[in-house]
Amino acid sequence: MSQLCVFSKHLAGMPLDETARRLRAMNLEAIDLTVRSGGHVEPELATQDLPAAAALLHHEGVRIAMITTAIMDATDAQNEAILRAAAQAGIHYYKLGYFSYAGFGTLRKQRQEVAARLADLAALNKEIGIKGGYHNHSHNFFGANLADIAYALENVDPQWLGLYFDPAHATIEGGSSAWMMGLDLLRERTIMLAVKDFYWTNDGSGYAGGRRHKVRFCPLSEGNVPWPRVLQCLKESHFDGPISLHSEYQGAYSFRDLTTNEVFAQTAVDREFFTPLLREAGIEFV
């Protein structure tokens, strides 16, 4: 059964115990906690601060469904320490960091390099007992094209490392059917879901655009992601991993730059919009 949680990136202006109480007030019992530079837990302090954060949240009735990290290298001792601390705290999923696209003419070679890195991480995950998810991010990141992630994961055990699917970023890069074709290649490897939405703007702000139109993140009810079809595909794929609400409502890429209190309020609205879609698709969640 999937666990509905909230990405903590845009909740950083509030103490964790208060954050937990606000989540419980929205009938949410889980969080996607940032364990990366500038996050709720700094990587170098994870062995002590991550268990402490888990205990504090548990006391308030909230569990850590997953952590968001910048982990990309299985040979880094700090990365291993983070994953071991997470597993010991009962956390079963983590988001990896990113590989930037190396530039035109490099992709075939980069596919092989990323595949080797992910295979090493999958082996480490198996040893520790934690699952990693590679997030498809639009713009200048390896994996903006889902077919590249499919290639890199081809020989990786999906029990330990798979796709952290972001339909908004997939729609940005393939808004008609390419998002579905990419997901088709990864249907047995999709283990986590990021939930946000966007629309195109022609006022010159935003990112990931062409000569004129650019992206702006917006409330789930106002965006372009074909959520009913996305969720139907996930149901057909037997998806049951964490579902992280990404309240990307701060900064220049948001429809408005919200305060932390306003982010909570908009997240509550998004939850009320999204959970009926999950039920209609037949995806079980708590």
Side-chain-facing half-sphere of 247: CA atoms under 13 Å? 26
Confidence of residue 12 (pLDDT cuts 50, 70, 90): confident
Q: What would the pLDDT profile of 80-135 be if each residue is shown by its tens digit?
A: 999 999 999 999 999 999 999 999 999 999 999 999 999 999 999 999 999 999 99
How do residues 159-195 score in pLDDT, each as one tens digit? 999 999 999 999 999 989 999 999 999 999 999 999 9
- Read off the pLDDT of residues 21-61 as tens digits, 9 standing for 90 and up: 999 999 999 999 999 999 999 999 999 999 999 999 999 99
Nearest to 95 by CA among 43, 132, 121: 132
Q: Give pairs for 11-16: CB < 8 Å, separation 24+.
A: 11/247, 11/260, 11/263, 11/264, 12/39, 12/40, 12/260, 13/259, 13/260, 14/260, 16/40, 16/53, 16/56, 16/57
239-261: pLDDT as tens digits: 999 999 999 999 989 999 999 99
Place of tokens 């007030």: 25
Q: Cα 25 from chain centroid?
A: 23
Q: Which residues pair with 164 in a beta bridge?
A: 135, 192
217 pairs with which residues across the strands? 198, 254
The model carries a pTM of 0.97
The structure tokens listed for 13 are 């202006």
